[in-house]
Amino acid sequence: MISPSAAPENFWRNAAVSIASVLIVWMVLLSLGSLLMVLNSLQHILTLEKGRASAISIFLADNTPLSSAMDFKLQLMRDSRVSAVSYVTKEQALVRFQEMPTLSPDLIAALGSNPLPASLDVTVKDIRSLADIDKMVRTSPLVDKSPATNYSPDVIDKIIVLARVAGIAGVVLIVGLAALSLFIIMLTIRTAIYMRRKEIEVMKLVGATDWFVRWPFIVEGLMVGVLGAVVAVIIVGLGYRPAEQYLQPRLVFIPLFYDPEFLKVVLAGMLAFGLLLGTVGSYLGVRRFLRQ
């Protein structure tokens, strides 16, 4: 007889289909959880790069009086697009130059006297306003002409485009994986219904309500979603940190970022998502059958 308490029995009666569905849901949710962690790492990297790219150095002409440089600094700080301005002396600029890891000691020794100019490091509130700031400061007589700033528009544009593409790609992949999970659970429930269609038809003839027929299949779909989610949560929860530690030295140009707080949110979301997929998928599968 079909009843909510019979859901586990139905699950094991269709063991091959049920286990295959759990494995597919597990793979989908595992991919989803891993994707979210990778996207979080990418977003963290982009945030760092945008933070670096949102600052430019304005190189001052040689022999610029300190008082004039401070007046120029105050002028920039009054600009609503600017969040911070700091003055860098020639000596500080040389120290920065010497600390660059890619420079050889011979090159530093060959400099002789300090050829580096003093500068104003300007950080803007919105990375998209850098072009206007760069254009504005170049008109000042205090600014060196070769080069005036270290502004690189190509780098800024690439970071903005990459952030946009990463966001869109992440949404598309997540929606696609969710749709695939939903389809798999619906297919599982429809298979179970098909195998018991005659029993359901008899129950409908003797007056069983639609919800009386639905409940065991909804519980069965819920079991598929939850079991797949639990396995995926265990693997992501226990495996992400070791995977990050293993891959980090091998992906030197793609720094990974481990965020334990975000991981907790992802794991909870995976469980909730498995629960939701199981419930919705099984409900839709049963509803279509009962409408026939």
pLDDT tens for each residue of 175-204: 887 787 778 777 777 777 777 777 777 777
Write out the two tokens for 219. Answer: 């519980």
pLDDT tens for each residue of 123-160: 888 888 888 888 898 889 898 877 878 777 676 677 66
What's the confidence (pLDDT) of residue 13?
A: 67
Partnered with residue 124 across adjacent β-strands are 82
CATH code given to domain 55-125: 3.30.70.3040
Question: In this structure, are residues 15 and 196 in contact, taking their beta carbons and an 8 Å threshold?
Answer: no
Cα separations in angstroms, 30 against 17, 72, 147:
20, 54, 50
What's the confidence (pLDDT) of residue 105?
A: 58
What's the confidence (pLDDT) of residue 40?
A: 81
What's the confidence (pLDDT) of residue 29?
A: 84
Amino acid at 52: R
Partnered with residue 84 across adjacent β-strands are 123
Question: What is the average pLDDT value for the chain, to the nearest integer?
Answer: 79
Give kind and range of the element (H or E) at residue 84: strand 82-88
- Among the listed residues 214, 227, 228, the one whose alpha carbon sits nearest the alpha carbon of residue 283: 214
Cα separations in angstroms, 14 against 190, 219, 278:
12, 14, 16
What's the confidence (pLDDT) of residue 253?
A: 54
CATH 3.30.70.3040 domain span(s) along the chain: 55-125
The whole-model pTM stands at 0.60
